Structure 1
Amino acid sequence: MEKSIIRTCKLGAFFLSACTNLLAPLLLAIRAEFSLNTAMSGALLTAFFAGNFALCFFSGRLLNRFSKGHCLCVAVTIMTLSCFGVAVSPSFPVLWAGLFLMGACTIVMQVATNAIATGLAQQGAASHVAGITAFNGLGACAGLLFAGQCVSLGFSWRMVYILFGLCSIVATVLCWKTKFIPMPQQDAGHFRDLYTLVSDRRILPFFLCLLLYSGSETSICNWLVTYAVENRGFTTFAGSILTALIWLFVFVGRMACSEASKRVPARWILSGLMPVAAVTTLLIPQLSQIGIWAAVVVLGLALSGIWPMLASELLRIGGYDQSVTLSTAFLFSFCGNTVIPYGIGQIAEFQTMPIAILSIGGIFAGLFFFFLFAAHRPCVRKVSNQSGS
């Protein structure tokens, strides 16, 4: 039964990530239909991740008050229905609202899949978190290729959401058919639980790292398509393949990190991956088309372990309820997703898209140095103190 539940969690992770990444290849088509500039098209990304951000305040309480499996099933159902709602949006505000609702559902799915998987694990939280988030990478790859291929075949962006909604019906049925094991329900808590978490100086730097990383990851994965099409002469489908390659190698890298984390401390994996992500992103505007193809492979591998390793460190050193910790982690992540991509869109609008890409690389570099001096050192001191005792 546990294997069946884990498979359902992986399916949920796959579809929520595919849904999240449908938008990047469709931005140019939506811009054209609604006559939007670059900055306003960035507001569509903000809409989706604002939904993520809003539900982060409540997802932990929902999962602790109700069955985690039931919450997952309801969220998948509403996500499926919202796809059809987005497809028939008559105006930009309605489209914005539909994307907001879609984002709200996917964050509940994200927290639920990780909480269920880690709740079933007797040990090795890092391995289980990396295993589930690996399917986020695979789903992102599938969503990008699906949307890019549909656009290249002449389908409208509305039809893309209709077709994806039809596919999601299958996932919805499979989720409802899964028999989830009842898990102990914790006290649902209050907003003071959030204050307690973020005021803990051991783990606050990790939350801030998640904010910087998630905003940068979302920015490069969404704006890379626009950069490739407008500045490097890629077709929309080829630009989608670029970003899909990032997520394909995120999937490969996360499967490797799932095994590596059993033998290597997560903080050392993070110290190796962060600078590679920064340098690779900074190089992209300087590279030819062939060089960009190679860079996205390296970038995908570099990005693969950062989020799950940061999350596993939170679960390891925090000692708080898993659902509350994970929902707070996603709260910071989607705060970054809401603000940073919009800021990058503003840079692209008032400067140039290559400068916007360089700005993302600069944030990755800042993340690395912040981790070294604010997050990595306390963790090392803690380990040293434990060894001495």
Structure 2
Amino acid sequence: MSWRGVSLVSGWQFTASLCFYTVFAATAFVREGFNVSLGVTGLTVTAMMLGYTALLFVTGAATDAFGERPLLVYGLLALAAGMAFVALSPSFPVLLAALLFVGFAYATAMPATNRASVHVAPPGREALAMNVKQVGVTGGSAAAAILITRMATTDAADVLGFIRFDWQAAFLAAAVLAVIVATITAWRYEGKPASGQLSTPDVRALLDDPSYRGLLLSGLLVGSAVFTTTSYVVPHVTDSVMAAAGVGGSILATTQLTGSAGRLLGGEIADRIPGTDVRGPALVLAGQSALAAVGFIGVVLSSGEAATWVAFGFVGIFVLGFPGVYYATMTAMVDDDEVGAATAGGQTALNTGGLIAPPLFGSVAETVGYDAGWTGLAVLSGFAAVAVWFSIARD
């Protein structure tokens, strides 16, 4: 139980998220390279989220039964294989199949790292440790945005000879890093003993708790905002601001970095709020959701490259800053042997939003305009704040 252990888990999360979110950062390049519409481009996220969601309860049950260590090691190796599959995809249908596999592999991430975070956290610093771990998500996402835009400007396809597009080299680089970090994890992380008995998660018992149901509702709503934001920052910048895709990638990276700051600040504040272990992170979660709504309105009102950059930076603090306190609230609600199952339910709520919202947003952006899409996300974020307040925080 030390910050060194938190750093190891955070490094794993950074690597897994670098792999996973490279797909989100690549949407503009996928759209251009495979010559598909904005709405069809959203299917890349849908395919990946479908695979991710399909295995969550399996990986959650496996985490509770066998501990987090096997899932951390083998899950990251599977993710490396998925990255290589994406890099070698010659057509859009094959790419969708590859992304489905990436989703399967990434399903190991949240149940395993949430259990690991609870295990390694210093006493009394559980919320901050969870948010430090979650910084790995935004940090990896920011690195992914930079990596994909840099690789897109190289001659990687000609040099390597076995990939179709230059940007696909970013997926190969992510695969190599994943293999290295999986090896380090196998060597350095011992893990926490588990029951050894695989059983079906008792989801019904969790759903009997109205607080947990309220948290799931907020996850569904804000999850829609999170995955849509990471999917459409770059297309918004290229289509509405008329800036280069590289600028869009930099704005996305900024959004992810401010999200990291939001997670750290949210965790620190949550640990300092007096009351039960649930109260602090729940209050912060409600506040972040409300301010996320304000941020999306700011995106609608902004015009020009600089103003858009600032607006998305503000959005990042609260939209991308919320998952840490979301999981801190969740893990404080349940016993240690239910963390995997509870995480599976919570992540499924997030992913359901990610499955539905990005393609719908893309269609709205093409037919009505981006402003209508961002306004819709503002409304969803506001409802999420209300759900958290009435089901958890006000108690």
On whether the aligned pair clears a TM of 0.5, the verdict is yes
- Identify which of 224, 244, 252 aligns with 1:215: 224
TM (normalized to structure 1)?
0.90
| 1:326-376 deviation line (CA, Å, top 9, x unaligned) | 122112111111111122122123322332222222222222233334x24
Q: Contact 2:228 / 2:361 at 8 angstroms: preserved in 1?
A: yes
What's the counterpart of residue 387 of structure 1?
none
Distance 1:215 1:187, change over 3 A: farther
C-alpha RMSD of the superposition: 2.1
**Hey, what's the Cα distance between the residues in 2 that align with 1:365 and 1:261?**
20
Secondary structure of 2:243's aligned partner: coil
What's the counterpart of residue 330 of structure 1?
347
Distance 1:306 1:27, change over 3 A: closer
What's the counterpart of residue 115 of structure 1?
115
- Identify which of 278, 286, 290 aligns with 2:306: 290
- Identify which of 322, 346, 365 aligns with 1:348: 365
Q: 1:141 Cα deviation (Å)?
A: 0.9
Letter in 2 for 1:356: G
Distance 1:33 1:24, change over 3 A: same
Q: 1:182 Cα deviation (Å)?
A: 4.0
What's the counterpart of residue 323 of structure 2?
307
What's the counterpart of residue 132 of structure 1?
133
Q: How does 1:210-289 map to 2 (within 5 A)?
A: 210-264=219-273, 265-288=280-303, 289=305
Q: 1:304 Cα deviation (Å)?
A: 4.9
Unaligned stretches of 5+ residues in structure 2: 157-165, 274-279
Q: Contact 2:141 / 2:253 at 8 angstroms: preserved in 1?
A: yes
Q: Contact 2:71 / 2:112 at 8 angstroms: preserved in 1?
A: yes
Q: Contact 2:49 / 2:355 at 8 angstroms: preserved in 1?
A: yes
Secondary structure of 1:202's aligned partner: helix
Q: 1:202 Cα deviation (Å)?
A: 2.5
Letter in 1 for 2:333: I
Secondary structure of 1:321's aligned partner: helix
What's the counterpart of residue 159 of structure 2?
none
Q: Contact 1:269 / 1:305 at 8 angstroms: preserved in 2?
A: no
Q: How does 1:1-389 map to 2 (within 5 A)?
A: 5-121=5-121, 122-153=123-154, 155=156, 156-185=166-195, 187-191=197-201, 193-264=202-273, 265-288=280-303, 289-319=305-335, 321-373=338-390, 375-376=391-392, 379-381=393-395
Q: 1:4 Cα deviation (Å)?
A: 5.1
Secondary structure of 2:240's aligned partner: helix
Q: Contact 2:63 / 2:71 at 8 angstroms: preserved in 1?
A: yes
**Hey, what's the Cα distance between the residues in 2 that align with 1:81 and 1:17?**
15
Higher mean alpha-carbon deviation, 146-155 vs 332-341, is at 146-155
**Hey, what's the Cα distance between the residues in 1 that align with 2:338 and 2:105?**
22
Higher mean alpha-carbon deviation, 312-321 vs 193-202, is at 312-321
Letter in 1 for 2:39: A
TM (normalized to structure 2)?
0.89
| 1:1-39 deviation line (CA, Å, top 9, x unaligned) | 865543331111101221222123322222233221111
Higher mean alpha-carbon deviation, 101-110 vs 22-31, is at 22-31
Distance 1:69 1:27, change over 3 A: same
Identical residues among aligned pairs (%): 18
**Hey, what's the Cα distance between the residues in 1 that align with 2:63 and 2:386?**
35
Q: Contact 1:129 / 1:312 at 8 angstroms: preserved in 2?
A: yes
Distance 1:103 1:7, change over 3 A: same
Aligned residue pairs total 377
Distance 1:305 1:349, change over 3 A: closer
**Hey, what's the Cα distance between the residues in 2 that align with 1:214 and 1:15?**
21
Unaligned stretches of 5+ residues in structure 1: 382-389
Letter in 2 for 1:284: V
Q: Contact 1:220 / 1:360 at 8 angstroms: preserved in 2?
A: no
Q: Contact 1:202 / 1:318 at 8 angstroms: preserved in 2?
A: no
**Hey, what's the Cα distance between the residues in 2 that align with 1:331 and 1:133?**
17
Q: Contact 2:5 / 2:120 at 8 angstroms: preserved in 1?
A: no
Letter in 1 for 2:17: S
Q: 1:309 Cα deviation (Å)?
A: 1.8
